Amino acid sequence: MRGTGGARPGRACTVRGQTAAAVHTSVGVGSMWDRWARLSTRTKAVVAVLVVAGAPFFIAGMISGAKDSGSDTAAKPSATKGANTPQAGPTFTYPGDPQCAITYTDRGDGSMSWTAKLTVAGELITHVTDSSGTIYRHDVHAGAGATAFTAAVPLTQITDIGGNVDSGSKSYGCSVRRAS
């Protein structure tokens, strides 16, 4: 019966001297756990150390990715520019959260202002950036309602407006639009 593939009573079926389980695993059909079981204890220890050492970086990356996913709260100017009117300057729009709404205007005296209207109290961080790269940043604790800010630069030189409010349990990106 040898070589015919048939099994004899009391003997394991073999193919070229290997048991059926060995043949099954050697062709890549075995499970991941079968492969893991064949690794040495030292290899398993190295893998465990790498997993434990890398876990904080993986978790930190996921947390920062979750925070950053909605944190681009700066409105970019559109191509629309006005003529010589008090409303001259770039138009900024950003569809943020309803808990924080920023409106802005040119004051007509070489400065501009923006107002953040909050429906929740918290830490409000807001800014405008001018064409020279100067950032007019404000970090205040504000209650629900309106909080106004100014920058000693005309609206025509503003390249960026944005903000967010952190209520302690949640952070909201501010919507941005021109004041009516």
Residue 23 has pLDDT above 90, yes or no: no
Residue 85 has pLDDT above 50, yes or no: no
Structure tokens at 81: 């520019």
Q: Is residue 7 part of a domain?
A: no
pLDDT tens per residue, range 91-143: 888 888 999 999 999 999 999 999 999 999 999 999 999 999 999 999 999 99
pLDDT value, residue 99: 93
Q: Is residue 117 part of a domain?
A: yes
Structure tokens at 14: 């073999």
d(CA 148, CA 163) in angstroms, rounded, equals 13
Q: Are residue 100 and residue 38 in the same domain, yes or no?
A: no
140-146's contacts with Cβ under 8 Å and 24+ in sequence apart are 142/116, 142/118, 143/118, 144/118, 144/119, 144/120, 145/117, 145/118, 146/115, 146/116, 146/117, 146/118
Q: Are residue 28 and residue 79 in the same domain, yes or no?
A: no
Expressed as residue numbers, the domain containing 170 is 74-178
Question: How many domains does one find in the chain?
Answer: 2
